[in-house]
Amino acid sequence: MALCAVLAVLDLAGIVGLWQHPGPPPGVVTTGTLLGGVTLGASRPASRDNIRALRVVVGSRVISALLGRSASKVKRQVESLFPIPQFVPHAY
């Protein structure tokens, strides 16, 4: 349960990515933030043997994992379509 809570906090911290220049898509960030909030909200009752809350925690973590996987796929596809040139300093 502690691992789920730590992952939820990391999902909440992911909202900082909205203000990064080549950041993740806003839909992915907001959905991840909502899932992190749901996980944190349900983790305390789940630790007290509430079966419904445990199902919510597990479900939100599974959805978050699938969302993270698809986000990395989208990023790779965008980078393959629009390659970012690398800065190479000139040797003097």
Q: Where are the domains of the chain?
A: 2-15+26-76
Q: What is the pLDDT of residue 34?
A: 92
pLDDT of the chain along its 92 residues, tens only? 888 888 888 888 888 878 877 777 788 788 888 999 999 999 999 999 899 999 999 999 988 888 777 666 766 766 777 766 666 666 66
Query: What distance in Å separates the CA atoms of residue 6 and residue 90, rounded to the nearest whole number?
Result: 44
Which tokens is 48 given?
């007290």
For the entire predicted model, the pTM comes to 0.67
Query: What distance in Å separates the CA atoms of residue 78 and residue 47, rounded to the nearest whole number?
Result: 40
Which tokens is 47 given?
């630790």
Gyration radius (Cα) of the chain, Å: 17
Q: CA-CA-CA-CA torsion for 10, 14, 16, 18, nearest 10 degrees?
A: 180
Q: What residue type is 60 in one-letter code?
A: S
Q: What is the pLDDT of residue 23?
A: 74
Q: What is the pLDDT of residue 55?
A: 94
